[in-house]
């Protein structure tokens, strides 16, 4: 019998060629996808996103691999590093926090690699907003409370004031607004909301390090959350969630477990809010 670790099944790692851009999830190694884990376990080089990727996850799944922290490195350094390793026949994984499709700047790296002849592809992860909703024991969409979710960030170096739509999302009333990259700017964001006429009692939660061992939740309102966040001292690594869904209350029962389940009319909703089709009912 051989001591070698069994090769992961092709249907778990997938059949794509090239460098996978893998979502590490929000922090808890248990929230990495099965495919992400299998890819990390066979990697020779893992280029990871630094402090938002839990070192426990790196220790657990890619201790054997060369690990490079991408923080502070520009594309001119990262792209040749990954390209050369790939061309030498090494197995490379680019590991982003959460899901690489959300505020990950993945595509510019992928395009640069593709233009050098290196194929790339995405492997989804659990984004911080989903971890935060689990921490808050709520849904981001909630029947009769929140019909939409906005993933957004506050104005700053990257986003001009005219591109900051937080007040518009909050004004809509039935949107759960999830603010990434905004922990340092909670007071400015809440001040702007108040200036723009938001209800001061609108619920807000700030979820620091969702799913990490030191996870923390600060609950409040548009009027008072900034004081509480400043008192706690958080300046980074938290998700700001605004809207009635934060409380998990005030919702109406969906149709799913009512008449429809026992053969009610066809225009009633499924648990994902869509009109059921014959397929939904199987």
Which residues of this protein are in contact with ligand SAM, per CB under 6 A?
26-27, 52, 96-99, 102-104, 127-128, 131-132, 180-181, 183, 207, 209-212, 236-239
CB of 260 to ligand SAM, least distance (A): 34
Is the Cβ of residue 126 or residue 193 nearer to ligand SAM in the bound state?
126
Name the residue nearer to ligand SAM (CB basis): 175 or 206. Answer: 206
Cβ atoms of 275 and 255 closer than 8 Å: no
Spatial contact of 106 and 100, defined as CB atoms under 8 Å apart: yes
- Please report how close the Cβ of residue 53 comes to ligand SAM at its closest, in angstroms: 9
Q: φ, ψ for residue 186 (rounded to 5)?
A: -60, -45
Minimum Å distance from CB 200 to ligand SAM?
23
Is the sign of the CA dihedral 21, 13, 51, 97 positive or negative?
Answer: positive
Q: What is the Cα–Cα distance from 243 to 136, expressed in whole angstroms?
A: 12
* Numbers of helices and strands, H then E, in the chain: 9, 10
Considering the complex, state which of residue 141 and residue 211 has its C-beta at the smaller distance from ligand SAM: 211
The nearer residue to ligand SAM, 151 or 255, going by C-beta atoms, is 151
**Shortest distance, CB of residue 11 to ligand SAM, whole angstroms?**
25
Helix 34-41 to helix 55-62 angle, to the nearest 10 degrees?
A: 60
Structure-token pair, residue 88: 């030498």
Considering the complex, state which of residue 110 and residue 207 has its C-beta at the smaller distance from ligand SAM: 207
* Distances from the Cα of 3 to the Cα of 6, 7, 67, 185, angstroms: 9, 12, 24, 52
Three-state SS for 92-118 is: EEEEECECCCCCCCHHHHHHHHHHCCC
Tell me the C-alpha distance between 21 and 24, whole Å. Answer: 9
Minimum CB separation from ligand SAM for residue 204, in Å? Answer: 14
Minimum separation from the CB atom of position 178 to ligand SAM (A): 9
- In the complex, the smallest distance separating the C-beta of residue 117 from ligand SAM, rounded to whole angstroms, is 27
Closer residue to ligand SAM in complex, CB, 128/142: 128
Alpha helices in the chain (DSSP H): 10-13, 34-41, 55-62, 75-87, 106-115, 128-135, 166-172, 186-195, 225-232
Nearest to ligand SAM of 92, 102 (CB atom): 102
Nearer to ligand SAM, 108 or 271 (CB): 108
Please identify the residue of the shown chain whose CB is closest to the bound ligand SAM.
Answer: 98
Query: Min. distance of Cβ 220 from ligand SAM in angstroms?
Result: 16
């Amino acid at each position: 019998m051989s001591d070698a670790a069994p090769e992961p099944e092709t249907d778990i790692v997938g059949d794509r060629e090239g460098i996978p851009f893998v979502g590490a999830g929000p922090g808890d190694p248990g929230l990495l996808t099965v495919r992400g884990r299998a890819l990390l376990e066979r990697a020779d080089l893992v280029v990871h996103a630094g402090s938002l990727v839990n070192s426990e996850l790196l220790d657990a799944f890619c201790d054997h691999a060369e690990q490079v922290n991408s923080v502070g490195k520009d594309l001119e350094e990262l792209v040749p590093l990954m390209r050369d390793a790939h061309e030498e026949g090494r197995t490379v994984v680019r590991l982003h926090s959460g899901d690489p499709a959300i505020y990950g700047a993945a595509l510019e790296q992928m395009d640069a690699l593709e233009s050098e002849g290196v194929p790339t592809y995405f492997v989804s992860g659990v984004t911080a907003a989903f971890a935060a909703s689990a921490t808050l024991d709520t849904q981001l969409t909630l029947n009769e409370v929140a019909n939409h979710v906005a993933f957004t960030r506050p104005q700053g170096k990257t986003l001009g004031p005219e591109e900051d739509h937080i007040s518009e999302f909050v004004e809509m009333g039935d949107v759960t607004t999830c603010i990434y990259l905004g922990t340092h700017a909670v007071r400015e964001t809440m001040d702007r909301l108040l200036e723009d006429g938001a209800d001061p009692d609108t619920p807000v939660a700030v979820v620091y390090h969702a799913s990490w061992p030191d996870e923390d939740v600060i609950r409040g309102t548009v009027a008072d959350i900034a004081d509480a966040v400043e008192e706690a001292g958080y300046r980074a690594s938290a998700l700001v969630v605004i809207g009635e869904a934060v409380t998990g209350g005030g919702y109406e029962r969906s149709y799913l477990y009512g008449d429809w389940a026992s053969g009610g009319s066809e225009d009633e909703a499924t648990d994902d809010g869509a009109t059921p089709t014959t397929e939904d009912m199987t």
